[in-house]
């Protein structure tokens, strides 16, 4: 009996082979597609659905690609010929909210923004705030180790997950982590799963660490500078001052001009870069005043507001970068991180690479934590060789500055060729060995993270 027949026999109408879903499963938001359609999409609704799918896959040695909303930017959820797509998008319930313990238990398919809208009724929230929060799932956030605009102050996904429920490749269910504030029993397998991009198992549940809603107001600041290097140096000065803004975002001149064109705003001066900063909490105004003084001392032209509506309008400029990039052409959206003090030097490297390779790299950065998103613009559907060469040079520059290949998007299929350069041969092999303990046959998300396709 074929794999498809086994799936239909055991799982019935949740096995979908419609053209629409098979075609969707070939790509994510990175713009990259697999060479062909997968066998089927299993639209799991329960943990049992996931376990039964994986038992069939394990028995037949059939590759499985786990997929949530498909909003990733590294190709980690792209499925191809001969593969089963296991979708957890319909597993979207909140199982439990405990405001007294500051935790919630959720299924992986719930959208980030939907979760926080419901948590607000209990005066709590989940801090990870990716730009895709309206469309990305919590399971996907965990699988990629997502970050976002608020992570400099409130942390990334790794700081906000107490435990995960994980189904292994053979169908066994593990409940990892704890519900307590402290917990050091055994090895920390929860942290191992966070950011593992579907290679260790299928996340079917998560115990999340919550925060009380922030009391007090917000203050929003924009500061423009004559060069992106000056803006990066100013952001480093804000960090060095001891201030801790909730949001500190940087747009270089090309990125700022593209957003202004998209939104119909006045065209910014040539070369102008912009920092957008927001403080929150009871001391928001006092902290904003300290930051404004630092920015002006660094040569910035500063605008400040404590009006929430105007603050959201200013933040909307930063949040519009993705549609603005789409208007420029086909984009390879990248993601590196460096120590915050190294951000000016990283922008120097980007300028050097633009000149050396004849490419355009509009860049936006989570300046509060040193996470940059350089964007390579080109024509056509396939990334040209010279773009990959320029990207490789940029990745190596970040590593030389003490940084990393990815701050929040993950490795997926796009960056696997550079992974060993950052990890070193010994760590690269140890990580592969660990992966085989969880998935001896190598059927989970093959070809992603580690280039073993």
- pLDDT tens-digit series, residues 98-129: 999 999 999 999 999 999 999 999 999 999 98
| Mean local confidence (pLDDT), 262-275 | 85
181 and 247 fall within a common domain: no
Alpha carbons 5 and 104: distance in angstroms, whole number: 38
Chain-centroid distance, C-alpha 283: 29
Q: Which residues contact 143 (CB under 8 A, 6 or more apart)?
A: 66, 68, 76, 194, 195, 196, 197, 198, 203, 410
Specify if 445 maps to a domain.
no
- Rounded to an integer, what distance in angstroms lies between the CA atom of residue 77 and that of residue 74? 8
Do 40 and 188 sit in the same domain of this protein? Answer: no
Residue 22 host element (H or E): helix 19-24
Residue 271: the pLDDT is 75
Separation CA 74–CA 334 (nearest Å):
8
Least trusted range by pLDDT, from 6-15, 136-145, 147-156: 147-156
When pLDDT is averaged across residues 80-91 and rounded to a whole number, the result is 98
**Residue 453 pLDDT:** 34
Domain count, the chain: 3
Tell me the pLDDT band of 148, cut-offs 50, 70 and 90. confident
Same domain, 276 and 391: yes
Same domain, 292 and 148: no
The answer, yes or no, to whether residue 215 has pLDDT greater than 80, is yes
pLDDT over threshold 80, residue 390: yes
Strand-pair partners of 165: 175, 205
Say if residue 190's pLDDT is above 70.
Answer: yes
Final residue before a domain boundary, out of 56, 87, 118: 87
Calculate the average pLDDT of the chain.
Answer: 95
Residue with the two structure tokens 């402290």: 182
For β-strands 336-337 and 217-225, DSSP reports them as unpaired
Given the structure tokens 């190596």, which residue do they identify?
Answer: 396
Which among 337, 350, 333 has a CA at the least distance from the CA of 407?
A: 337
Query: In this structure, are 289 and 390 located in the same domain?
Result: yes
Can you give the pLDDT at residue 268? Answer: 67
Same domain as 245, residue 154: no
CATH code of residue 287:
3.40.462.10
**Does 74 lie in the same domain as 105?**
no
Using CA atoms, how far apart are residues 193 and 139, in angstroms rounded to an integer?
Answer: 11
Per DSSP, what are the bridge partners of residue 176?
164
Structure tokens at 310: 């105007």
Here the tokens at position 409 are 């998007």
In a domain, 421, yes or no: no
Mean pLDDT score, 148-155: 90
Residue 347: is its pLDDT beyond 90? yes
Of how many residues is the chain composed?
Answer: 453
Q: What's the pLDDT band for 319 if we cut at 50, 70, 90?
A: confident
Domain endpoint, select from 28, 63, 87: 87
- Which of the listed residues 152, 184, 212 is the one where a domain comes to its end? 212
Read off the pLDDT of each residue in 75-81 and give the average, rounded to a whole number: 95
Residues 256 and 297 in one domain: yes
As a 3-state breakdown, the chain gives helix, strand, coil percent values, each rounded to 5, of 40, 25, 40
Q: Is the pLDDT of residue 154 over 60?
A: yes
Whether residue 188 is found in the same domain as residue 230 = no
What number is the average pLDDT over the span 135-144? Answer: 97
State the residue range of the domain holding 136. 94-212
Cα 254 to its chain centre, rounded Å, is 23
Find all residues with CB under 8 Å of 294, minimum gap 6, and list them.
234, 237, 238, 241, 243
pLDDT of 296 > 50? The answer is: yes
- How many whole angstroms separate alpha carbon 117 and alpha carbon 420? 40
Q: How many CB atoms lie within 10 A of CB 270?
A: 8
Residues 69 and 29 in one domain: yes
Q: Per-residue pLDDT for 439 more than 80?
A: yes
Lowest average pLDDT, out of 109-123, 265-279, 365-379, goes to 265-279
Spatial CA neighbour of 446 closest among 88, 82, 167, 191 = 82
List phi, psi (to 5°) of 189.
Answer: -75, -25
The answer as to whether 434 is a domain residue is: no
Is pLDDT above 70 for 452? no
Separation of CA 344 from chain center: 23
Q: What are 249's two structure tokens?
A: 């975002």
- Cα–Cα distance, 78 to 38 (Å, whole number): 9
Residue 206 shares a structural domain with residue 254: no
CATH number at 116 reads 3.30.465.10
Q: Model confidence at 32, in pLDDT bands (50, 70, 90)?
A: confident
Assign residue 67 the CATH number of its domain.
Answer: 3.30.43.10
Buried b (16+ CB within 10 A) or exposed e, 167-197: bbbbbebbebbeeeeeeeeeeebbebbbbbb
Q: What is the pLDDT of residue 327?
A: 87
Token pair in block for residue 15: 């096995």
Closest C-alpha among 410, 438, 441 to residue 30? 410
Asked if residue 409 is part of any domain, the answer here is no
Q: Smallest Cα–Cα separation from 441: which of 39, 189, 174, 63? A: 63
pLDDT at position 382 is 85
Give pTM, 2 decimals.
0.94
In a domain, 278, yes or no: yes
Q: Please indicate, yes or no, if residue 67 is contained in any of the structural domains.
A: yes
184 in a structural domain: yes
Contact 201, 193 (CB under 8 A): yes
Q: Is residue 448 part of a domain?
A: no
Name the percent of the chain lying above pLDDT 70: 99
* pLDDT at residue 421 in the model: 93
Task: Note the pLDDT of residue 179.
Answer: 96
Which residues, 6+ apart, have CB-to-CB distance to 173 below 8 Å? 47, 51, 165, 166, 167, 204
Q: Are residues 160 and 191 in the same domain?
A: yes
């Amino acid at each position: 009996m074929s794999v498809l027949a086994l799936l239909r026999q055991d799982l019935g109408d949740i096995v979908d082979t419609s053209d629409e879903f098979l075609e969707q499963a070939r790509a994510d938001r990175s713009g990259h597609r697999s060479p062909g359609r997968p066998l089927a999409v299993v639209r799991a609704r329960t943990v049992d659905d996931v376990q039964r799918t994986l038992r069939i896959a394990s028995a037949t040695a059939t590759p499985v690609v786990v997929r949530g909303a498909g909003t990733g930017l590294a190709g980690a959820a792209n499925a191809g010929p001969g593969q089963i797509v296991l979708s957890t998008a319909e597993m979207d319930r909140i199982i439990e909210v405990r405001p007294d313990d500051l935790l919630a238990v959720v299924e992986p398919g719930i959208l980030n923004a939907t979760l926080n809208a419901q948590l607000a009724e209990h005066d709590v929230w989940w801090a990870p705030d990716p730009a895709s929060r309206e469309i990305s799932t919590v399971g996907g956030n965990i699988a990629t180790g997502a970050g976002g605009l608020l992570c400099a102050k409130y942390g990334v996904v790794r700081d906000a997950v107490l435990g995960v429920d994980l189904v292994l490749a053979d169908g066994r269910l593990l409940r990892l982590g704890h519900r307590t504030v402290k917990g050091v029993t055994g090895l920390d397998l929860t942290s191992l799963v966070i950011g593992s991009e579907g290679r260790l198992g299928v996340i079917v549940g998560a115990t999340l660490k919550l925060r009380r809603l922030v009391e007090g107001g917000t203050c929003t600041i924009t500061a423009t500078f004559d060069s992106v290097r000056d803006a990066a140096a100013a952001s480093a000065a804000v960090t060095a001052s001891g201030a801790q803004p909730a949001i500190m975002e940087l747009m270089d001149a090309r990125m700022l001009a593209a957003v202004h064109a998209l939104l119909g705003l006045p065209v910014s001066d040539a070369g102008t870069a912009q920092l957008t900063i927001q403080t929150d909490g009871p001391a928001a105004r006092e902290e904003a005043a300290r930051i404004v003084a630092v920015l002006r001392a660094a040569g910035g032209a500063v605008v400040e507001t404590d009006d929430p509506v105007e603050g959201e309008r200013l933040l909307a400029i930063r949040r519009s970068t993705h549609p603005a990039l789409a208007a420029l052409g086909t984009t390879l959206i990248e993601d590196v991180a460096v120590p915050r003090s190294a951000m000016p030097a990283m922008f120097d490297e980007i300028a050097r690479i633009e000149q050396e390779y004849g490419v355009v790299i509009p860049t936006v950065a989570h300046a509060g934590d040193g996470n940059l998103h350089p964007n390579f613009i080109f024509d056509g559907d396939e990334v040209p060789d010279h773009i990959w060469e320029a990207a490789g040079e940029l990745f190596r520059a970040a590593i030389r500055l003490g940084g990393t290949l990815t701050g929040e998007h993950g490795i997926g299929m796009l960056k696997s060729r550079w992974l060993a350069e950052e990890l070193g041969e010994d760590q690269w092999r140890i990580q592969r060995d660990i992966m085989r303990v969880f998935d001896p046959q190598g059927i989970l998300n093959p070809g992603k993270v580690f280039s073993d396709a």
